[in-house]
Amino acid sequence: MSKLIPPHGSAALNPLYVADARDNQRLADDAAKLPSIVVSSAAAANAVMLGAGYFNPLTGFMSKTEALGVATDMRTKDGLFWPVPVINLVQDAGAIKAGDRIALKDPNVDGNPILAVMDVTAVETFTDADLALIVEKVFRTSDPKHPGVAALLSQGKTVLSGPIKVLNFSYFKAEFPETFRTAVEIRDEIEKRGWSKVVAFQTRNPMHRAHEELCRMAMDRLQADGLVIHMLLGKLKEGDIPAPVRDAAIRKMVEVYFPPNSAMITGYGFDMLYAGPREALLHAVFRQNMGATHLILGRDHAGVGDYYGPFDAQTIFDEIPKGSLLIDTFRADNTAYSKKLDKVVMMREAPGHTPEDFVTLSGTKVRDMLGKGIPPPAEFSRPEVAKILIDYYHALDNG
């Protein structure tokens, strides 16, 4: 019997999804009669993460004071380590007031079905200075061109706080039935497989050779029992490859190149923040909640553009108080194919190499090649993966 890592901040997971079918239906019937509000995509994603147990042990959306405290000190009002505010921002709360029970409607599904029920403890307003503080602390920039900053500032200034009960997992279960998994389901599967030491790999992109080998390095060096490839299934910035294409590419890579039963392919329902170091910490929190003992941190983890240094998302783990998290990290340098050694290596572990000794391609160059139907070199991308991506770009151009 495997002994799993405990969840963050509690002895057992506290998913906020109403799992009992009769209780769920009863609450849904009641919710249909409640005052309602269509929430932002970010708030809906937060609700899904709360429902799935990923944001354990939180019980709902944070108040203004708690959100500012988390942004500043990475602590909840109870002193729990938490790196990013989990908030429900709206443009206009209308007549909603403290003490109301309301239905939260899903902005991402046709007809805006009810996603969750919320007991409102406070209706407050962020000042411009409050929002500026959150943005600066969480994203380390106030540049409105940063996709995470832009998304946060577009949601409104009114913050609704209070506990929630989640009725469904938005579009994620329906659109990704083979991939979307809750933290509860992943824990159960890890338990079933008898794994104890478990490596998690975060991705919002297809996996090329360097990613594949990085997972192998982590598993070998940590002597891990298994790997959980955990892909983001929510909203991304314009130009990122959509989740179904990534899913297909990753499944093909694992099917062909990984030993049977060594890797689980899963996904979670969240909108990317592109918050670099702070988001890396959040990734660690919810990977601990799903049962992983180690999180792979690559170069510029959860970053975008040049807002963060290449290893800021690694060094932030040395800056948080000891004991904040039980999950450990596997920290990687740039990985690339060495022509000299005829394999993918971490570049810092390859002495006597010049830049010309590595097969490196920029993301722009790869997209350009794929868009023209040219497979990248086999040292960079598996041919089976390249074919799926070429087909995607071809369909895009002919759409």
* Active-site residue list: 204-205
Please give the distance of CA 260 from its chain centroid, rounded to a whole number: 25
Residues 60 and 121: their CA atoms lie apart, in Å, by: 10
> Which sign, positive or negative, has the C-alpha torsion 155, 158, 163, 168?
negative
Instruction: Give the H or E element holding residue 266.
Output: strand 263-268
Q: What is the DSSP string of 100-153?
A: -EEEEEPTTSTT--EEEEEE--EEEE--HHHHHHHHHHHHS---TTSHHHHHHH
Residues 81 and 73: their CA atoms lie apart, in Å, by: 9
Token representation of residue 310: 């290449």
Residues 96 and 183: their CA atoms lie apart, in Å, by: 32
| Structural contact between residues 317 and 324, judged by C-beta atoms closer than 8 angstroms | no
Residues 264 and 247: their CA atoms lie apart, in Å, by: 12
Angle made by CA atoms 19, 25, 29, in degrees to the nearest 5: 140
| Structural contact between residues 279 and 302, judged by C-beta atoms closer than 8 angstroms | yes
Where does residue 173 rank: exposed (0-12), middle (13-18), buried (19+ CB within 10 A)?
middle
Token representation of residue 355: 């830049």
Residues 345 and 213: their CA atoms lie apart, in Å, by: 8
Where does residue 116 rank: exposed (0-12), middle (13-18), buried (19+ CB within 10 A)?
buried
Residue of 12, 17, 87 lying closest to 57 (CA atoms): 12
Residue of 380, 391, 354 lying closest to 241 (CA atoms): 391
Query: Cα separations (Å) of 176 from 6, 180, 233, 266, 303?
Result: 27, 5, 8, 9, 25
Residues 116 and 164: their CA atoms lie apart, in Å, by: 6
Length of the chain: 399
